[in-house]
Amino acid sequence: MANNWGIPKDVEKFVLERDQLCVYCGAEFSSERKRKRSWEHIVNDVSISTVENIALCCVGCNASKGAKQLHEWIESSNAKKRGITRETLSKVILNALGH
């Protein structure tokens, strides 16, 4: 998977091993466009390239979140339409939300 975001190799390796499902909706990644995995900056700041801020999510969730703040998007109707609940969120996302 190409990393065009300047993510350090050690962070990339860690995240690729950690995130086997979408960190938001919990879907398995696949070759279907909306289920392909994509790099995600949890806090929308490309200068923060730590394992706490870099994750893998499906293209559908990444497109839905866009540039929105995490806490706002999680509560949005778009996130709810995607079936995102506290139970579908991965540990890295729950930590980012302070849970």
Length of the chain as a residue count:
99
What is the pLDDT at residue 6? Answer: 80
Q: Which residues lie below 8 Å from residue 96, measured CB to CB, with a gap of 6+?
A: 42, 43, 52, 53, 70
As a whole number of angstroms, the distance between CA 55 and CA 45 comes to 13
Q: CB-based contacts of 61: which residues, under 8 Å, 6+ apart?
A: 22, 24, 25, 40, 82, 84
99 residues of the chain, pLDDT tens digit each: 556 668 899 999 999 999 999 999 999 999 998 899 999 999 998 889 999 999 999 999 999 999 999 999 999 999 999 999 989 999 999 999 998
Domain residue ranges in the chain: 9-96
Q: Which CATH architecture has domain 9-96?
A: Orthogonal Bundle (1.10)
Sign of torsion over alpha carbons 33, 8, 46, 49: positive
